[in-house]
Amino acid sequence: MSQATWDAVDAYVEDRLLEPDAVLQQALADANAAGLPPIAVTPSQGKQLHLLARSIGARRILEIGTLGGYSTIWLARALPPDGLLVTLEREARYADVAAANIERAGLSAIVDLKVGAALQTLPLLAAERPPPFDLVFIDADKAHTPDYFRWAVQLTRPGAWIVADNVIRDGALVDTEVRTPDVLGNRRLHEIIAGDPAIAARVSATTIQTVGAKGYDGYLLALVLEPDRARG
């Protein structure tokens, strides 16, 4: 099985199950033209995020890692007119591209794009004591995914989904020779969910391996649980 097959299958699925979408296509085209890295979720993945949000009637979504706003648009379209999506992006130049794409999608009124390193903007967001989020999409620097995951647990309601992208990376997750910050972050993510008492009791999680137009990778899905009343 090869990348050509994975590309062809993604194209097959897009042709049949996804509507042609000029706004999303233009968002990708403008991101590419501005020199942003071509690492947005695929159309099929974007639609999965959208459906996940819709299926739980999400009203508040948090995204960490905006890039050009492609996944942002997919997710924000799942929200009601009075919903809110907060998206965090470190690179001001990327955020400018995203803001234009979100505007063109007619979503500016429900998307709050905050520019800055997420480990700076998350405490500011939490200090505002926002109503809990229904879904968090973690898709920024993978080295910090465990930190973002802790924030996500703190900022969500029971029944919320936390999705962490790019946790497999061609199987590097389990290749003990690979010790890059990204891969260490993805391992640490699994370890805290498995064994950190503050986290393990709060979520139930699994990781799904994927192939497709973006190669061999995968994502972690965590359901936020009711607080364990027996432990106070």
Q: Which residues bind ligand SAH (CB under 6 A)?
A: 39-41, 65-67, 70-71, 88-91, 94, 117-118, 139-141, 144
Distance between CA atoms of 12 and 35, rounded to whole angstroms?
28
- Least separation in angstroms between residue 161's CB and ligand DHB is 18
Distance between CA atoms of 181 and 200, rounded to whole angstroms?
22
CB 71: neighbour CB atoms within 10 A? Answer: 24
- Least separation in angstroms between residue 79's CB and ligand DHB is 22
CB 124: neighbour CB atoms within 10 A? Answer: 10
* Tokens describing residue 216: 């061999």
The interface partner of residue 143, options being ligand SAH, ligand DHB, Mg ion, none and the CB cut-off 5 to 8 Å by kind, is: none
- Least separation in angstroms between residue 65's CB and ligand DHB is 6
Contact pattern from residue 150 through residue 169 relative to Mg ion, giving x for each residue in contact according to CB under 5 A and a dash for the rest? ---------------xx---
- Least separation in angstroms between residue 67's CB and ligand SAH is 4
CB distance 196 to 170 below 8 Å: no
# of chain residues touching ligand DHB (CB under 6 A): 5
- Least separation in angstroms between residue 130's CB and ligand DHB is 24
Distance between CA atoms of 106 and 84, rounded to whole angstroms?
13
The residue whose Cβ lies closest to ligand DHB is 39
> What is the b/e burial string over 24-37, where b = at least 16 CB atoms within 10 angstroms of the residue's CB?
beebbebbeeeebe
Q: Does an H or E element contain 191, and which?
A: helix 181-195
Q: Is 139 in the site for Mg ion (CB under 5 A)?
A: yes
Rule CB under 6 A: which of 139-168 touch ligand DHB? Answer: 139, 165-166
Q: Is 10 in the site for ligand DHB (CB under 6 A)?
A: no
Distance between CA atoms of 7 and 213, rounded to whole angstroms?
5
By the criterion CB under 6 A, which residues form the site for ligand DHB? 39, 65, 139, 165-166
By the criterion CB under 5 A, which residues form the site for Mg ion? 139, 165-166
